[in-house]
Chain A
């Protein structure tokens, strides 16, 4: 069974940093792209970033470029999202997901809530 479990969310002040983690199991992590998607009540679902199997290619939505960094550790079956210079509009539930690339984002975690507020 494919499982993705996010952690690291919480309350952070504007301008602060947070690192999200995602533990994957039930599939060959090193053979798959993985992705972060966030969800806010106001803007709905927004793809944030994804990363290739070996970490050599990474892509980001424009609104987080230069502030967020996606990374992975295939030895630990783990995905990360380092979020710096956080803004109130980054407040969202962040989902980790397996990205089957042209076959879509096919398995999702349960999400972790990030709240950016003073």
Chain B
């Protein structure tokens, strides 16, 4: 099974400042079709997870461009260029190369 490890587990950010979350997989997420299937989700308090990023770096419909994803192989990063109050919640990475596995989550709060 592919294990996904996120760091840090919690993050306190001043509004307007950047934030970065790391996600590492226990094996390469490069699929035999040549693509890499890594996703990012945000779960706000009391809500279901919402898709932010798919295929490492593509923003889902309606996701602000302050969110960006990058990485390859086993190392991936979600960056928020300027954190806003509405970005508070728990962020999860998920791999889709071999079934689906989620990271343990990173809680983002505002200072």
Contacts and interface: CB of A to CB of B under 8 A. Distances in A.
B22 interface: no
B48 interface: yes
B99 A108 contact: no
A47 B104 contact: no
Contacts of A111: 48
Interface residues of A, number: 23
B105 interface: yes
Nearest to B101: A47
Interface of B: 1, 31, 35, 37, 39, 48-51, 54-55, 60, 92, 94, 96, 99-105
A13 to B, nearest CB: 28
Given A47-B99, A103-B55, A106-B51, 10 more contacts: A44-B102, A44-B105, A45-B94, A45-B105, A47-B94, A47-B100, A47-B102, A104-B55, A107-B51, A108-B49
Contacts of B54: 100, 103-104, 106
A108 B39 CA distance: 15
Nearest to A95: B48
